[in-house]
Amino acid sequence: MTSLRKYLTLNSGRRIPTVGLGTFLMKNDVLREALDYALYIGYRHIDTALSYGNEVEIGDVVASRIKDGTVKRADLFITTKIPPIYLDYQDCLQSAEKSLDNLKLKYVDMLLIHHPCGNPNRGDGNFKPLDENGEREIVSYDILRTWKAMEKLVGENQTVHIGLSNCQPTVINKIWKAAKIKPSNLQLECHAYLQQKELGKLCTERGIIMTSYGALGAITRPNQSGNKPVLLDDLVIKEIASRINRTPGEVLLNYVAQLNRGILPKSQTKIRLKQNIEVLDWCLSKEDIKLIQTLDRNVKYFDFPWAKNHPDYVPNQPF
C-alpha cells in the first residue's frame, strides 16, 4: 500500500473525506484566508461548531466559492455541532437552525452532539455558564430526547448525518440501542499518546466512523498545563520523521489515518495546510506503525475537568 484512502464510508453508504480542516480557535480574517486556500488546494471537509463562534466566516467563504464555481455544494462535507447548553429538545432544533443561518446553508452534512454532559441554557448565549462558586454549572438532559431532535433534523433535511462527540461507551450504547437513525460518526481526541483502542473497537463493531481531533497533540489548546508531554517532541516520532524525510506532524497524522480514522488538522499557514492534505499520499511502514503503537499512554490534552463532576459522567471510561 503506497497511499491511504481519501474517503471513509459512513453507515449510510455516503463518504466523508478522511482529512478535514479543523477550525477550533480560528476566527476572522485568519480563518477566511486559511479556508479559502484550503478549498483551493482540495480540502472538502470543514469542521466547525456553534460554540467556536466562527460559522459566519465559514459561511461567507463557502458561499463565495460556491458562487464563483470554485467548489460545488455537493462536493463539500460540512460538520457542525450542538453545544452542551442546547441539549434540550427544542433548544437542539433551534441550535441547528442558527448554525444553518450562520453557515448560509440549507443543510449540513454532519451534525454532532458536541458533548453529552449538559450545561444550563440561560438564554444569554453563554456556552460556559458558571455557578456561584465560579465552577462550570452542569445540568442533566435526557440525551435520548436530544437524539430524537437530531433525528427530526434529518427528517427535515437540515442535516444528512448525525453523530456524537466526546462520548463514553455507556452513552454511545444507550443512544445506539434506542436510535431509529444510528450515529454515523464519533469525533474525539485521538493521537499517538491517546490511541482510543476501546472506543475504536466499539466504533468498528457499530459501523461508526471515528474522527480524530488533536492528532498533533493539541499544541494550541487553551489553558495548557506544563506537566503533559509534548507529542511533537517525542523522540520516537522525531527519529521516524528524520529517517523518512517527513515532519513529526506528518508522521502523527499519517499514523492516525492508517487506523482508518478521519483527521482534522488545523493550520493557518499555506505550507502546513498543503502538507496536511497530502499526508494520505504515502504510508508509514509496518515497523514504524508498531513503534508508534508502543507510545500509547492515555495522555488526554482536552480532559474536560468540568464534565468529570457531571452525574452523567462514568469514571474510568474513555472519551
DSSP labels for the chain? Answer: --S--SEEE-TTS-EEESB-EE-TT--HHHHHHHHHHHHHHT--EEE--GGGT-HHHHHHHHHHHHHTTSS-GGG-EEEEEE-GGG-SHHHHHHHHHHHHHHHT-S-EEEEEES-SSB----SS--SS-B-TTSSBP-B---HHHHHHHHHHHHHTTSEEEEEEES--HHHHHHHHHH-SS---EEEEE-BTTB--HHHHHHHHHHTPEEEEE-TT--TT-SS--TTS--GGG-HHHHHHHHHHT--HHHHHHHHHHHTT-EE-----SHHHHHHHHGGGGS---HHHHHHHHTT-----S---TTGGGSTT--TT---
> Is pLDDT larger for residue 272 or for residue 220?
272
Question: What's the confidence (pLDDT) of residue 186?
Answer: 98
Per-residue pLDDT, averaged over 51-60, amounts to: 98
Q: Which of 55-64, 80-89, 161-170, 214-223 has the lowest mean pLDDT?
A: 214-223
Q: Which residues are catalytic?
A: 52
Do 14 and 189 meet the contact criterion of CB atoms below 8 Å apart? no
d(C-alpha 278, C-alpha 176), whole Å: 34
SS3 sequence of 140-173: CCCHHHHHHHHHHHHHCCCEEEEEEECCCHHHHH
Domains plus CATH for the chain? 7-309 (3.20.20.100)
- What backbone phi and psi angles, to 5 degrees, belong to 118? -85, 155
Question: What's the confidence (pLDDT) of residue 222?
Answer: 57
Angle between helices 286-293 and 248-258 (to 10 degrees): 90
Q: What is the pTM of this model?
A: 0.96
In this predicted structure, the answer to whether residue 225 has a pLDDT above a threshold of 60 is: no
In this predicted structure, the answer to whether residue 118 has a pLDDT above a threshold of 70 is: yes
pLDDT digits (tens, 9 = 90+) for 191-223: 999 999 999 999 999 999 999 999 999 776 655
d(C-alpha 243, C-alpha 222), whole Å: 32
Q: Which of 45-54, 89-98, 227-236 has the lowest mean pLDDT?
A: 227-236
Per-residue pLDDT, averaged over 140-155, amounts to: 98
In this predicted structure, the answer to whether residue 226 has a pLDDT above a threshold of 80 is: no
| Planar angle of CA 90, 308, 315, nearest 5 degrees | 110
In this predicted structure, the answer to whether residue 227 has a pLDDT above a threshold of 90 is: no
Comparing CA positions, the residue from 100, 80, 92, 207 lying closest to residue 147 is 92
Question: What's the confidence (pLDDT) of residue 3?
Answer: 85
Question: What's the confidence (pLDDT) of residue 9?
Answer: 98
Question: What's the confidence (pLDDT) of residue 48?
Answer: 98
Q: How confident is the model at residue 2 (pLDDT cuts 50, 70, 90)?
A: confident
Question: What's the confidence (pLDDT) of residue 220?
Answer: 66
Residue entry with cell 438532559: 141
